[in-house]
Amino acid sequence: MRRPGALRREPVLSGMLIGVGLGLVWVYLDHWRQGLIAIALVLAAGAVLRLLLPNRAVGVLAVRSRLFDFAMLAGLSAGILSLTLAVPLPHS
């Protein structure tokens, strides 16, 4: 019997990694603001999921206590979002 792949064993973490990866591709394609906003939103979604789902459902995303993990993901999201929005748009 085969063990399920990583994407099936860790759906929350896999979704977050795919979302962050797509955001990084967006940044690479010279859409840095949209890419970083997408990354911040993925981290915010991960924070909410970590807060709401039981430990078994989030798998390896559960590193410390639920509140600590939520605070770290939400803080990273807020930091990336605020720094991204603080950079002024260039005038064309």
CA distance 38 to 52: 21
Q: If 0-12 CB within 10 Å is exposed, 13-18 middle and 19+ buried, where does residue 19 land?
A: middle
CA distance 76 to 65: 17
pLDDT in tens, 29-50: 999 999 999 999 999 999 999 9
- Angle, helices 11-28 vs 32-52, to 10°: value is 170
How far apart CA 40 and CA 45 sit, in angstroms, is 9
For 47-67, the pLDDT digits (tens) are: 999 999 888 888 888 888 999
Looking at mean pLDDT, say which of 4-13, 61-70, 77-86 comes out highest. Answer: 77-86
